Amino acid sequence: MGYYINVEPGVNVYVEDINPTGGKTIFFLHGWPANHKMFEYQFNQLPQLGYRCIGMDMRGFGNSDKPWTGYSYDRLADDVRSVVEALKLQNITLGGHSTGGAVAIRYMARHKGYGVAKLALFAAAAPSLIKRPYFPYGLDKEVVLSIIRGTYDDRPKMLREFGDMFFFQYVTQPFAEWFFQLGLQAAGWSTAAVANTWLGEEGLFSDLGRINVPTLIMHGIHDQVVPFPLAEVQKEGIKNSILIPFEYSGHGLFYDEKDKFNRELALFVG
């Protein structure tokens, strides 16, 4: 079941609600530059176990509206709050991949975990995707600047190169093409705007300590996009958290080891 939810005047986001009459709810936030369809292999399996799965396309991506502005972590977290309120969600597990994980963390801090009973982070881009003078982990700033330049100069080429480093396990050419098309569904300006948000000074350092629900951290040890040490920093900063390394995964652990991913997530949700 798919529908649009208004998050601010003139801006609607697309939400897919799978097994809406199911039991416990898992709300998935996708990573950059894809959309909710990246969780296809979770949506195929978890509803069979009785879960209700909700996938939201963040503004600027997938089927959602693509306004010129509104790509800060604060605004994206506020969009999530609008969906939680519109669907009257309670006691959910909020799960986020990569940038979606960063938005989930900001949501927990900014909205005091409204409606959320548990948090699940999948290769989350937090507390900072880039290295900083006081933070030696993450990507070099120049890598992100190159992504932004590539978005403006030749977005398909940039997306193709990003896809080539996304997975650790072998993926077929048809699968790689499908994943590539997910990125093309975004607007170029929103693709660049979110990348600019990674460079912002806000970061998520103070947010980690404000999370007070059980938290599952899953992260591929071969991740070339969000290096594994960031998961260890998350584990140190979030009370009542557990870290599960994925030994045969890169950034796309939801597909590289999809059976383990689905199993561990289901065990955590309960």
Q: How does the average pLDDT of the chain come out, rounded?
A: 97
Give the number of other Cβ atoms within 10 Å of residue 2's Cβ: 12
Q: How long, in residues, is the chain? A: 270
The tens digit of pLDDT for each residue in 155-202 reads: 999 999 999 999 999 999 999 999 999 999 999 999 999 999 999 876
Comparing CA positions, the residue from 119, 102, 95 lying closest to residue 212 is 119
pLDDT score, position 201: 74
Give the number of other Cβ atoms within 10 Å of residue 245's Cβ: 14
Which residues neighbour 46 within 8 Å (Cβ) at sequence distance 6 or greater?
A: 26, 53, 262, 265, 266
**pLDDT exceeds cutoff 80 at 52:** yes
Instruction: Please list the active-site residues.
Output: 98, 223, 251
Comparing CA positions, the residue from 231, 211, 234 lying closest to residue 223 is 231
Confidence band for 242, pLDDT divided at 50, 70 and 90: very high
pLDDT score, position 24: 97
User: CA-to-CA distance for 6 and 17, rounded, in angstroms?
Assistant: 16
Q: What is the pTM of this model?
A: 0.97
**pLDDT exceeds cutoff 90 at 258:** yes
User: CA-to-CA distance for 265 and 270, rounded, in angstroms?
Assistant: 8
Would you report the helix, strand and coil content of the chain in percent, each value rounded to 5? 45, 20, 35
- Look up the CATH number of domain 2-269: 3.40.50.1820
pLDDT score, position 200: 87
Average pLDDT over residues 130-146: 95
The tens digit of pLDDT for each residue in 63-112 reads: 999 999 999 999 999 999 999 999 999 999 999 999 999 999 999 999 99
Confidence band for 203, pLDDT divided at 50, 70 and 90: confident
pLDDT score, position 1: 84
Query: In whole angstroms, what separates CA 173 from the centre of its chain?
Result: 24
Q: Where do the domains of the chain lie?
A: 2-269
Strands 116-122 and 92-97: parallel
